[in-house]
Structure 1
Amino acid sequence: MGAFDALRIASSSLGMHQTWLDALASNIANVNTVVRTDETAFQAQSPIVRAAAGGGVEIVGMALTDPEGRVVSDPDSPLADADGNVRAPENDLATQLTQLVMAQRGFQASVQVTKDAQDTYRSALEIGRR
């Protein structure tokens, strides 16, 4: 492992976690978005991640939930069909909030690795100056 590999790996992790956090923000904002039953539901996003060559991670795509969503009864909605139904996303708040905690902690861990690597490199430079 080279001198700056820890920073490169932590940087790729930061980028992945930021993308995940952005997707979760959109998913949470749209958890209660309903449409007419003849339309497609909001599709929650989740990054597809794989190990990168040489270390770190890379995002290779985004997984989407089912566009069919689920049909729910909401006769008071202006979007309701003749039967009083609307289409809601296959996206529940509890799952999204659980993933949000995981993404935040992963991001924080990557930040800490970056700080620790910078401190180590700074100490090595100080030793070299003496």
Structure 2
Amino acid sequence: MGAFDLLRIANSSLGFHQTWLDALANNIANVNTAKATSDTAFQAQMLFARPRTDGGVDVGGVALSDPNGRVVNDPDNALADADGNVRMPEIDLASQMSQLVMAQRGFQASVQVTKTAQDGYTSALQIGR
């Protein structure tokens, strides 16, 4: 492992966790997005991690939730059909919040690895003085 491999790996982790946080934020923001029953529901994004050969991590893919969502009776909604139904996304808010905590912790851990590596490199540079 080279001198700066740790920073490269931590940087890839930061990128993955930031993308995961963005997807989760988008899902949470749209948890109550109603659509007409003739339309498709908002589709939540779920990311897959893919390991890199250099030890880092990338986004390996994105899966989308069911476009049919769930039909909810909400006759007061402006988008309701003749029966008073609207289409809502199939998003479990509790699961999204749990994943949000995991993504935040992963991001924080990557930041700490970066700081520790930088401190180590700075200390190594001070040895020659």
Q: Shorter-chain TM-score category?
A: over 0.9
Matched, 1:116 2:116: yes
The two structures, once aligned, show a CA RMSD in angstroms of 0.9
Q: Distance in 2 between matches of 1:124 and 1:26?
A: 42
Alignment of 1:3-14 (within 5 A): 3-14=3-14
For 1:77, the aligned partner's letter is N
Q: Distance in 1 between matches of 2:110 and 2:13?
A: 6
SS of equivalent to 1:80: coil
Q: Which residue of 2 aligns with 1:74?
A: 74
Once the two structures are TM-superposed, the CA of residue 60 in structure 1 deviates from its matched residue by 2.3
4+ residue runs of structure 1 moved beyond 6 angstroms?
Answer: none
Q: Distance in 2 between matches of 1:95 and 1:32?
A: 15
Aligned identity (percent) is: 72
Alignment of 1:1-130 (within 5 A): 1-127=1-127, 129-130=128-129
For 2:88, the aligned partner's letter is A
Per-residue Cα deviation, 1:88-114 (whole angstroms, up to 9, x for no partner):
001122111111111111000000000
Aligned length in residues: 129
TM-score by length of 2: 0.96
Per-residue Cα deviation, 1:48-93 (whole angstroms, up to 9, x for no partner):
2110111110112211111111111111111111111110001122
Gaps of 5+ in 2: none
Q: Distance in 2 between matches of 1:17 and 1:60?
A: 13
Q: Distance in 1 between matches of 2:96 and 2:72?
A: 20
Q: Distance in 2 between matches of 1:29 and 1:67?
A: 17
Q: Distance in 2 between matches of 1:46 and 1:120?
A: 36
